[in-house]
Amino acid sequence: MKAPNARLEVAGIDSLILRLFEHIDEANMPWMLAARTRLQAAFGGALIDLVPSYTTLLLHYDLCQLDSEQARTKVAEALDGLQPADVQGGREHQLPTWYDRSVGPELQLLARRSGLSEAEVIARHSGHAYQVFALGFAPGFAFMGLVEEILAAPRLSTPRKRIAAGSVGIAERQTAAYPVVSPGGWNLIGRTPSRLFGSDIEGYSLLQPGDRVCFVPIERAEFIRLGGDDSPLEASQ
């Protein structure tokens, strides 16, 4: 893949958005990781935060150390001669997942929409290693992709108010596991007992951009043995 045609946009008085791509693609990740590393080095202590997404990087810098023109210059320096990173450096994760209607009420819906059986939906979803593109929405919430087009489904028209931690879902061609109890509008197909977020986890999140994730089907008994919570779909108040 050729080098991205980068575009810089103003996000605030002390923030810039570096847009590297226009469309979500797994091939974006090596460039995104390389740009993140270069920008962190270029800005150094003047960088307050750097938030990657599928196609952009949001830079928040310290106005006491840099003005807007200096920030733009540092971005240009960071991108000069940019080469894609080796994504093999990301970690590999296997998330045991109990796929079942009781914890994944849209499992049947996705089967009906796709013309597949529920077993085939499970096999398709668990048969691919997903790239972690970004973290957001909730602490430790990792946006992953890309799921097969046949499994793609729009978000629910009415989001649920509370979803149990570990719930695994699909939205468009993205997939994710909810790390904590939260609202959500993704199509739920199962639940993982894996702990995805915590103060004792390095970086607080088990999953980080550049990592790859496989969902491994397990039965309910194994789910419970691993500490999974099979309580009703919407977590109790």
Residue 58 shares a structural domain with residue 101: no
Q: Which long-range contacts (CB under 8 A, 24 or more apart) does 64-69 make?
A: 68/10
Please report, for the domain that includes residue 74, its CATH number. 3.30.1360.40
Residue 169 shares a structural domain with residue 109: yes
Element (H, E) at 221: helix 220-225
HSE value, Cβ hemisphere, 13 Å, CA-based, for 115? 2
Domain extent at residue 75: 7-79
Element (H, E) at 141: none
Structural domains in the chain (count)? 2
Residue 66 shares a structural domain with residue 119: no
Residue 111 shares a structural domain with residue 24: no
Please report, for the domain that includes residue 131, its CATH number. 2.40.100.10
HSE value, Cβ hemisphere, 13 Å, CA-based, for 101? 7
- Whether this model's pTM surpasses 0.85: no
In a domain, 233, yes or no: no
Of the candidates 25, 8, 49, the one whose C-alpha atom is nearest the C-alpha of residue 135 is: 49
pLDDT digit string (tens) for the chain, length 237 residues: 556 788 999 999 999 999 998 888 888 888 888 898 899 999 999 999 888 888 899 999 999 999 999 999 999 999 998 888 776 667 999 999 999 999 999 999 999 999 999 999 999 999 999 999 888 878 889 999 899 999 999 999 999 999 999 999 999 999 999 999 999 999 999 999 999 999 898 888 999 888 999 999 999 999 999 999 998 765 443
